[in-house]
Amino acid sequence: MSLWENFVGGLTGLFDFMGRRSDQIAELTLEHFWLVLTAMIIAIAIGITVGVLISYWDPIAYPVINVTQVIMTIPSIAMIAILIPFFGIGFNNGVAALTLYALLPIVRNTYTGIRAIEKAVLESAIGMGMKESVILFRIKLPLALPVIMAGIRTSVVMGIGIGAIAAYIGAGGLGILIFNGINWVNYPMVWTGAIFISIMAIIADLVLGWTENKMSWRT
């Protein structure tokens, strides 16, 4: 059988699988979406808070960022195993793992974005008698927002990809298709999981990229 015939046969099998399992694919896609969304909401809340705090105290900034970098180096399977005693298996473990992986870009970009603001701008605000809380929410965060959004964008796209591993401990999502497809030597199943994860990542990247550009234009 020629390479072209193999390609056509594989493509036919892929579309046939998608047609027969459309309901399951839609359900797993929604599970994947909620898994990543939940983790990103938590990571954004923690990451921005930590990034803001360390921007006020440089001595702890780099140690904190280094800790988040070390977390990023832990293999995803190992991370999930480490978290089992604390979160068990399932959705909560997946959310915790994705949250930890998402922290580095958000913390680092929040810190960098705030520290990059020109001192003259902040000195003018202080000279006008603004309180630090007002400066933070009306000047620092708005000016740093495009940089922060770049970090969030990186975390979300990365989280969508890593989220496939969460299926290994029963957290659901499109990773189920990939793992089951490998176990059953069902290549259309593997391809379907990979394709839909890629589509989700591309859409998220485009939407967040558009948002980031709009924010950069406004600032």
For the chain, the 3-state helix, strand and coil shares in percent, each to the nearest 5, are 90, 0, 10
Give the N- to C-terminal CA distance of the chain in Å, as an integer: 59
Cα–Cα distance for residue pair 48/31, rounded to 1 Å: 26
User: What is the biggest distance separating any 2 CA atoms in the chain, rounded to whole angstroms?
Assistant: 79
Report the C-alpha gap between 1 and 216 in whole angstroms: 53
Q: Residue 218: its pLDDT value, please?
A: 59
**DSSP-assigned states of every residue in 82-122:** HHHHHH-SSHHHHHHHHHHHHHHHHHHHHHHHHHTS-HHHH
Given a contact cutoff of 8 angstroms between Cβ atoms, the answer to whether 195 and 29 are in contact is: no
- The predicted pLDDT at position 11 comes to 87
Burial (CB < 10 A; 0-12, 13-18, 19+), residue 38, is middle
pLDDT tens string for the chain (219 positions)?
A: 567 767 777 788 899 999 999 999 999 999 999 999 999 999 999 999 999 999 999 899 999 999 999 999 999 999 999 999 999 999 999 999 999 999 999 999 999 999 999 999 999 998 898 999 999 999 999 999 999 999 999 999 999 999 999 998 999 999 999 999 999 999 999 999 999 999 999 999 999 999 888 776 655
Do the Cβ atoms of 212 and 146 come closer than 8 Å? Answer: yes
- CA 164, distance to chain mean position in Å, is 12
Region 3-218: CATH code = 1.10.3720.10
Place of tokens 């705030």: 114
Query: CA-to-CA distance for 39 and 36, rounded, in angstroms?
Result: 5
Q: In the chain, what are the domain boundaries?
A: 3-218
Look at residue 13 in the predicted model and tell me its pLDDT: 87
Report the C-alpha gap between 6 and 71 in whole angstroms. Answer: 42
Residue 216: the pLDDT is 66
Cα–Cα distance for residue pair 155/145, rounded to 1 Å: 15
